Amino acid sequence: MSSTKTISIPLVGLLLFLCCWTSTAKAAAEKEYYVKYKDPKQPISARIKDLMGRMTLEEKIGQMIQLDRENMTAEIMRDYKIGSLLSAGGSVPRFKATALDWINMFNTFQNGSLSTRLGIPMIYGIDAVHGHNNVYKATIFPHNIGLGATRDKELVKKIGIATALEIRATGINYAFAPCIAVCRDPRWGRCYESYSEDPEIVSEMTDIIYGLQGDIPQNIPKGIPFVGGKDKVAACAKHFVGDGGTIKGIDENNTVIDWHGLLSIHMPAYYQSIIKGVSTIMVSYSSWNGKKMHANRNLVTGFLKKTLKFKGFVISDWQGIDKITYPVHSNYSYSVFAGVHAGIDMIMVPYNYTEFIDILTDHVNNKRIPMSRINDAVSRILRVKFSMGLFENPWADQTFVDKLGSQGHRDLAREAVRKSLVLLKNGKNADSPLLPLPKNTSKILVAGTHANNLGYQCGGWTMTWQGLSGNNHTAGTTILSAIAAAVDPNTEIVYSENPDSELVESNNFSYAIVAVGEHPYAEMYGDSQNLTIAEPGPNVINNVCGKVKCVVLIVSGRPLVIEPHVGSIDALVAAWLPGTEGHGVADVLFGDYGFTGKLPRTWFKTLDQLPMNVGDPHYDPLYPFGYGLSTNPIQSS
């Protein structure tokens, strides 16, 4: 018995020791396994602090870079710890890529990001400025100038919801929208990206942020970015600030205005965007009173971040810091210093990322740029990524694939089109209105370059940066197709892009619908000092109107020179750039719905009046800001 006791005491001790050691080892292992920044139950601030404490300078600078997807690989994402990718206009996985093509591409790049030491997911941006406009068969909504004509911020919010779903259908999670420029001169090639010349309307239309990102909860402090789920995307208010006020509307030029004017005209929409939780703000190429915005520390850091309390991240425009010096990229070391010092957090460096990394690293190591500035940038980028739930859901979600170009979204776009149309003239006098048009008549003429051209209908930033001509680049309904679907089957339609007078005079047309306007364009190439209807548009108006009752549709991104033709036109409609759903035009022409749109900007008489905006002295427009005739819907014959 005694020998048994002698042996059992050490055995019991050994067992207790092993038990304690196992528990301690298990606890240590669990402690080692637990990583605070990966814990969604932790506050975002705690997750940022934990992750930042683990990051090297190399990893932090990698987060500050956004590359174009072209020529990128998952290995580059991994090896350089890149924080973001983008698709510039027309930068796509393949021609007519499907949603699954986009998803597979996205996941390949995301796999590279998640393969890094810390596994920080990338954010992927794209210019979804009127729907998911780079993607084949996506719903293309009217450009912002048309949405401004609706005055309907609830509609714009719904468009944001639909656009976010279509973006997510391709795996992408960040939209470079909305553009909240206040265009003060229609000669600017981006004027159609502006909701209005009126800062109040532009501010109201920032409700699209609620659609893109979700309604912001009341407990979220002002300035904190908020993205409300896997069906939402990070939004980007652009271009900070004054881009719509440049001299003669020249793109990337100088906006000459005093501080009060900048605050009262160009700044209000940014304040509203911040209140609504916008995640990112993009800096403008333009200058304010001679100072490049990409190098303007007083406005970017001093006013935007400190005074307005914006807590999301500030992103450059495409090669925006390169343009701080002239010739472009001529003193890149200074440009990197000036841009980052100004307060830009994420730099759109499409191609020369190794040069950027080397230069910024050198600036930090030599204390020209303090580490506090790098930490500010990276913490803001991480705040947006955590708010989006990217660490929990980094992969593309195929749940939303069927939302791309869905019928519900096309119906919404059709509604937006009909609400955006502005009726400028209806009949030679008040007693003889031409609109609504009868559906049941013998023969009608449809004419003009824009009647049967989906590319012209959509304008720039559609499938490519500058836009395209033709009907084969995406899916939609042309104005001609919509007219054919709307009229009685027994009504004969004669279509001619450029009819001569003989065709018009030799047929007994009941009326003619003429669709003319501008060819597609975007920034820079769209700047115009003449604002004329593209040829042969004026010739079409001359050959048709006056010989038969005619309604002229101006399909454009801004007011054009029309005053010389108004006398011969029976009815005149500003159709803006309606997008893929031409049915919306026919809905109103034939009286299924009434005209309700109001001019979002002043329609000038002559070019020498420009710039001219409501409230200016000697205001003498052809059609004033806010003008728009109305019609009542009818039961068409």
Enclosing H/E stretch for 495: strand 492-496
Closest CA to 65 of 301, 387, 465, 378: 378
β-bridge mates for residue 312, sequence order: none
Residue 99 gets the label, from left (phi > 0), alpha (psi -120 to 50) or beta, of: alpha
Per residue, what are the HEC states of 194-231?
CCCCCHHHHHHHHHHHHHHHCCCCCCCCCCCCCCCCCC
**492 φ, ψ (degrees, to nearest 5):** -85, 130
Q: Any catalytic annotation for residue 317?
A: yes
With helix as H, strand as E and coil as C, how does 240-260 read? ECCHHHCHHHCCCCEECCCHH
Question: What is the distance of C-alpha 540 from the center of its chain?
Answer: 34
User: Which residue of the set 317, 345, 581, 587 is catalytic?
Assistant: 317
- Catalytic-labelled residue, pool 127, 193, 204, 523: 523
DSSP state of 142: P
209 to 223, 236, 312, 313, 387: CA distances (angstroms): 13, 9, 14, 16, 15
Q: How far apart are CA 302 and CA 265, in angstroms?
A: 19
Residue 225 φ then ψ, to 5°: -65, 145
Q: What does residue 529 show for φ and ψ, rounded to 5 degrees?
A: -105, 5
Provide the 8-state DSSP code for 346: B
Residue in 138, 22, 603 with CA at minimum distance from that of residue 401: 138
Q: CA of 153: how far to CAs of 204, 206, 227, in Å?
A: 6, 8, 19
DSSP string, 4-33: HHHHHHHHHHHHHHHHHHHHHHHHHHHHHH
- Write the CA distances from 331 to 293, 294, 567, integer angstroms: 17, 14, 55
DSSP symbol at 117: S
- Residue spans of beta strands (DSSP E) within 267-355: 280-283, 287-288, 291-292, 313-315, 347-348
Closest by CA to 133, choosing from 399, 422, 468, 415, is: 468
Residue 92 Cα to chain centre, angstroms: 17
Question: 3-state SS of the chain: helix, strand, coil percent to 5?
Answer: 40, 15, 45
Active-site residue 68, yes or no?
no
CB-based burial label for 317 (10 Å; 0-12, 13-18, 19+):
buried
DSSP lists the bridge partners of residue 68 as: 86
Closest CA to 198 of 626, 538, 576, 629: 626
Q: What is the CA radius of gyration of the chain?
A: 29
Q: 609 by DSSP, 3-state: which?
A: helix
Residues whose CB is less than 8 angstroms from the CB of residue 335 and which lie 6 or more positions away in sequence, other chains included: 321, 322, 323, 324, 325, 329
* Residues 240 and 299: beta-carbon distance below 8 Å: yes
DSSP at 112:
H
What is the rounded CA–CA span in Å between residue 7 and residue 53? 52
Catalytic residues: 317, 523
